[in-house]
């Protein structure tokens, strides 16, 4: 830059020269953006002459429209508030309309002789940086995509594994029931055990991949915490009985029944903790304790604790057991099995709630896992609801006309069966569009709306129904199997009145309907004549329903078969423990399945057995007789459904 | 659904209450910033009014956890928040000042609960940003897509988000903070969604329904609300006073607070 002139003096560069030729661009502008000075470097980068820019262009004009909006809404306000902005990434438009990636620093300049604020921007050319950045972002995107693809693959393959696994379990069960010698029986038992473990593992993997891909969201649904606990306790009571350990349950007397929150997540965490506690406890007890930390008019803060007298955990393993695929030690995995995912999943589910699992434990003495959760009280759920839930079979719904919307004919069929049992009239629609048309055509009191349907889904259909000029809008109840996404928010937006998660029991549906339709406390009982059946089942009900559609028959019978195979497993564990409560709940659960295939003899036998257990009236011999009879009858029902299914296969 | 209580809302929307008057004046900031936008304006009202400042969910110091894509996929979600705030604070006879997109949010709120509001002050309002069949909004669809794209490649975000990513130390917030601009920080993902909702919205029909009297403050040389839009507002809103500001750009509340304050005060005095 400097050169020796004729007189022998070196030329010292002026500030102006330094400004014009600086390695960065400079531009100065007024509060409305009018440019009053710009340096040579920037003119050079942009391809403008000084005359074209100075006092003619506004700073904003250097940007594309998107950039201008950003300038007005973010950039300029920021300068005006803090007097500067640093390192803002803008693409500047060259005269030839190509883009120059830049980093901008702007500061406010207050000159002493003028009131007017001016601004000076220094601009760095970051074309090279931008290229690196692009590469980095692309690499990150690719890595994220790969990870997503992996998760999707994992979830797909888990689904695929589940189907044959269920078959293995079902057949294994049947196999176990055939006449086998002691060795074969032991082999079959191991086969069943291993299949069950494998199914548990696959289910955990599925959950984990859902959590990883952020598909798991918290719901805010009304639920009965006492019902949830009742089911949990009765399930784990059986397991404790099998292991001859005690199940202690301590609940606060003033535990409110109706809460708003996510019952599925709570159930999953408690199931995991109780399952672990029982698994790792040989003698002593497993204790579930719930205490109220805070209770206000609208909210409750609960502590859940599961403790045991099992093998305990060494302190240096406290953190590791919450890591994916890790257990306290390799030996634990060998000895007790499991995936090492349960606690990780539980911890992640608690994180969603903003909570965390606490652990106290001593090796050899036992462990105590606890966590705290906030719930809103469900103030709308009154006593009436409780009554409906408790004795729904004895109530009668007020007459109403109902529209059932579902793309799966089997679901329509099942729901319609419930509705006709309750003397409600109904129509069906197989998609959202049909539903909207049907509601437009005639008055419905209530619409049961599946949310996931092709073309027009339940939300869209509900919105469309709300837009119809009706004299009286129907109540809309959503039905959905997947509890993902912001369901409650979306429900509200579509003006949907209520929600029933799938799969639901008749009691759940009845309860929801009674909330919206009203119910009489009549002596109404669903009655069925019990004809003397030469065979154990009768498929006429299914046949009538299918109206000659063989595909429908195959589906309906396939799921019935699976259901009975599962029920048989349950009844076997019940007959070994002779637990009358568990039996009653199984009978309740089976009622619709029994009704469909008209397995009256099985139904009668189970009722008799139930009565005897409840009143502890039976002699052992009679009990054993019944147990044998039930077992035989189950076998027959399964074989008959299987045979029928075989006969309609192409 | 039960309505949230005041302490929940205070956390969600970072509500601040100031002023010694009784009539409430609620300031709703626009896209791109937070309640800091009002820092030069609200002090002028402190003596005579009760002042309510807040951040929209996703902006400023609001509770980001309260953000739900479903709820805020339309401006109505934001309008309902304002109504919840007014309800929880038991505000009536309210003057609602909305800047930029919040002027439409204010219109939606007033349409939902007309009885709550005495006046709306709409600063740089536009019911529809995209040109549409003869309507001039100032932008083509491709411009908005350009904006959304640019938001994704993040302007402000370069230092705030890229630096830690590239330097590989996302766990050292200190490092990021030095580079970051301290006001108007928004989560880039939320900003992008807010931009999409804002610039894709069409509130022309809502204007026709508006009954609440309002002041329209139109800026000079405002890319976001060109003169045609101001003219449209003037004609379509039933009870309006139209005021052309000398201030340039989209944020007169920052660039010309005195002029903005004077215009609002003049309007309110005449309205009494």
Size of interface A-B (CB pairs under 8 A): 134
Chain B residues close to A133, C-beta within 8 Å: 162, 166
The verdict on a CB contact (< 8 Å) between B249 and A88 is no
The verdict on a CB contact (< 8 Å) between B150 and A70 is yes
Residues making up chain B, counted from first to last: 272
User: CA nearest B1 in A: which residue?
Assistant: A492
Start-to-end C-alpha separation, chain A = 92
The predicted structure's pLDDT at residue A570: 87
Structural domains in chain B? 6-128+203-271 (3.40.50.1820)
ipTM field: 0.84
Question: Is the Cα torsion angle A191, A196, A200, A205 positive or negative in sign?
Answer: positive
Min Cα separation B170/chain A (Å):
14
Angle between helices A550-577 and A225-243 (to 10 degrees): 60
Min Cα separation B70/chain A (Å):
6
Min Cα separation A72/chain B (Å):
6
Query: B233: buried, middle or exposed (CB in 10 Å: 19+, 13-18, 0-12)?
Result: buried
- Residues A218, A263: contact at Cβ < 8 Å? no
Half-sphere exposure of A166 (CA within 13 A, CB side): 14
The verdict on a CB contact (< 8 Å) between B33 and A73 is yes
Interface test with B, best of A57, A69, A135, A381 (most B CBs within 10 A): A69
The predicted structure's pLDDT at residue A525: 33
Distance CA A459, CA A473 (A): 16
Between A635 and B214, name the one with better pLDDT: B214
Distance CA A574, CA A568 (A): 10
User: CA nearest B162 in A: which residue?
Assistant: A133
pLDDT digits (tens, 9 = 90+) for B105-137: 999 999 999 999 999 999 999 999 999 989 999
Which of B100, B102, B126, B192 is an active site residue?
B100
Min Cα separation B271/chain A (Å):
30
- Catalytic site includes residue B100: yes
- Catalytic site includes residue B220: no
Element (H, E) at A93: strand A84-93
- Catalytic site includes residue B239: no
| Residue ranges in chain A whose pLDDT is less than 50 | 1-2, 383-391, 483-485, 521-533
By C-alpha distance, which of A476, A408, A399, A410 is closest to A438?
A476
Chain A residues close to B181, C-beta within 8 Å: 78, 82, 85-86, 88
The predicted structure's pLDDT at residue A410: 66
Chain A interface residues facing chain B, Cβ-Cβ under 8 Å? 31-33, 60, 64-70, 72-78, 80-82, 85-91, 103, 132-133, 136, 140, 298, 376, 379, 485-486, 488-490, 492-493
Distance CA A605, CA A581 (A): 16
pTM of the model: 0.52
Which of B34, B55, B206, B222 is an active site residue?
B222
The verdict on a CB contact (< 8 Å) between A489 and B71 is yes
- Nearest CB among A76, A88, A376 relative to B251 is that of A76
The predicted structure's pLDDT at residue A155: 74
Whose tokens are 């634990």? That residue is A332
The verdict on a CB contact (< 8 Å) between A133 and B255 is no
pLDDT digits (tens, 9 = 90+) for B138-178: 999 888 888 887 776 555 444 444 444 444 333 444 433 43
Cα-to-chain-centroid distance, residue B187: 17
Asked if omega into B243 is within 30° of 0 (cis), the reply is no
Between B84 and A253, name the one with better pLDDT: B84
pLDDT digits (tens, 9 = 90+) for B37-64: 899 999 999 999 999 999 999 888 899 8
Contacts for A105 with CB less than 8 Å, ≥ 6 apart: A84, A85, A86, A87, A88, A121, A122, A124
Strand, helix or coil at A446? strand
């Amino acid at each position: 830059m400097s050169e020796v002139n004729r007189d022998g003096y070196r030329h010292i560069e002026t500030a102006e020269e330094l400004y014009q030729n600086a390695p960065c661009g400079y531009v100065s502008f007024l509060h409305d953006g009018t440019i009053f000075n710009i340096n040579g470097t920037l003119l050079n980068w942009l391809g403008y002459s000084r005359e074209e820019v100075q006092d003619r262009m506004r700073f904003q004009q250097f940007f594309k429209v998107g950039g201008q909006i950003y300038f007005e809404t973010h950039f300029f306000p920021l300068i005006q508030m803090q007097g500067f902005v640093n390192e803002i990434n803008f693409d500047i438009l060259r005269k030839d309309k190509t883009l120059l990636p830049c980093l901008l620093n702007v500061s406010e300049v207050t000159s002493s002789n003028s009131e007017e604020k001016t601004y000076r921007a220094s601009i760095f050319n970051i074309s090279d940086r931008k290229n690196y950045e692009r590469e980095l972002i692309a690499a990150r995107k690719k890595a994220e995509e790969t990870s997503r693809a992996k998760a999707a693959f994992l979830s797909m393959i888990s689904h695929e594994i589940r189907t044959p696994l269920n078959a293995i379990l079902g057949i294994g069960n049947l196999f176990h029931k055939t006449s086998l010698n002691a060795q074969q029986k032991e082999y079959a038992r191991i086969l069943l055990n291993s299949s069950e473990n494998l199914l548990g593992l696959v289910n955990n993997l599925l959950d984990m991949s859902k959590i990883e891909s952020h598909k798991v969201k918290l719901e805010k649904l009304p639920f009965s915490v006492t019902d949830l606990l009742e089911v949990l306790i009765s399930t784990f009571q059986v397991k404790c009985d099998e292991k001859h350990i005690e199940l202690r349950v301590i609940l606060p007397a003033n535990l409110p029944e109706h809460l708003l929150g996510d019952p599925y997540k709570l159930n999953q965490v408690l199931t995991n903790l109780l399952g672990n506690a029982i698994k790792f406890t040989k003698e002593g007890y497993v204790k579930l304790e719930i205490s109220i930390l805070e209770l206000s008019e609208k909210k409750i803060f609960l502590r859940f604790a599961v403790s045991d007298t099992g093998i305990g955990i060494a302190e240096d393993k406290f953190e590791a057991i919450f890591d994916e695929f890790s257990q306290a030690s390799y030996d634990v995995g060998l000895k007790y099995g499991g995936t090492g995912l349960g606690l990780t999943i539980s911890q992640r589910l608690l994180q969603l709630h903003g909570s965390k699992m606490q652990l106290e434990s001593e090796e050899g003495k036992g462990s105590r896992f606890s966590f705290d959760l906030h719930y809103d009280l469900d103030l709308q759920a009154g006593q009436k609801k409780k009554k409906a839930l408790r004795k729904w079979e004895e109530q009668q719904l007020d007459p109403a006309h109902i529209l059932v919307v579902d793309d799966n004919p089997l679901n329509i069929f099942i729901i319609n069966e419930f509705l006709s049992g309750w003397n409600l009239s109904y129509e069906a629609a197989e998609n959202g569009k049909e539903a909207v048309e049907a509601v437009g055509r005639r008055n419905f009191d209530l619409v049961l709306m599946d949310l996931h349907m092709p073309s027009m889904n339940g939300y869209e259909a509900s919105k469309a129904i709300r837009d119809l000029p009706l004299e009286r809008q129907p109540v809309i109840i959503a039905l959905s199997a997947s509890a993902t996404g912001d369901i409650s928010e979306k429900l509200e937006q579509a003006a949907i009145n209520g929600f029933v998660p799938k799969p639901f029991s008749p009691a759940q549906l009845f309860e929801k309907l009674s909330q919206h339709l009203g119910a009489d406390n009549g002596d109404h009982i669903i009655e069925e004549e019990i004809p003397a059946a030469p065979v154990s089942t009768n498929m006429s009900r299914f046949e009538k329903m299918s109206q000659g559609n063989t595909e429908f028959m195959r589906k309906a019978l396939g799921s019935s078969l699976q259901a009975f195979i599962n029920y048989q497993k349950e009844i076997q564990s019940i007959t070994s423990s002779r637990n009358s409560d568990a039996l009653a709940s199984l009978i309740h659960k089976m009622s619709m399945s029994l009704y469909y295939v008209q397995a009256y003899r099985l139904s009668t036998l189970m009722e008799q057995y139930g009565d005897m257990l409840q009143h502890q009236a039976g002699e052992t011999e009679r009990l054993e007789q019944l147990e044998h009879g039930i077992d035989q009858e189950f076998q027959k029902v399964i074989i008959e459904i299987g045979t029928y299914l075989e006969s309609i296969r192409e | 659904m039960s309505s949230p209580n005041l302490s929940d809302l205070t956390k969600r929307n970072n509500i601040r209450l100031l002023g010694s008057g009784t009539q409430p004046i609620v300031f709703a900031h626009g896209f791109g910033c937070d309640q800091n936008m009002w820092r030069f304006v609200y002090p002028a009202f402190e003596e005579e009014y009760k002042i309510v400042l807040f951040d929209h969910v996703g902006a400023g110091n609001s509770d980001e956890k309260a953000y739900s894509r479903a709820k805020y996929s339309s401006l109505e979600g934001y309008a309902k928040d304002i109504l919840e705030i007014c309800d929880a604070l038991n505000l009536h006879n309210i003057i609602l000042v909305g800047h930029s997109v919040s002027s439409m949010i204010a219109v939606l709120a007033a349409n939902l609960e007309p009885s709550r509001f005495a006046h709306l002050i709409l600063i740089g309002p536009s019911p529809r940003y995209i040109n549409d069949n003869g309507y001039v909004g100032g932008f083509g669809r491709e411009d908005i897509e350009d904006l959304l794209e640019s938001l994704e490649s993040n302007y402000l975000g370069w230092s705030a988000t890229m630096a830690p990513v590239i330097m590989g130390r996302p766990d050292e917030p200190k490092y990021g903070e030095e580079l970051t601009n301290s006001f108007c920080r928004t989560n880039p993902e939320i900003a992008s969604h807010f931009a999409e909702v804002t610039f894709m919205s069409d509130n022309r029909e809502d204007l026709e329904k508006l009954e609440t009297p309002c002041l329209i403050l139109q800026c000079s040389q405002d890319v976001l609300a060109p003169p045609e839009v101001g003219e449209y507002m003037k004609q379509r809103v039933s009870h309006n006073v139209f005021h052309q500001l000398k201030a340039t750009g989209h944020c007169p509340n920052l660039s010309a607070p005195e002029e903005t304050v004077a215009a609002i005060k003049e309007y309110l005095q005449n309205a009494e």
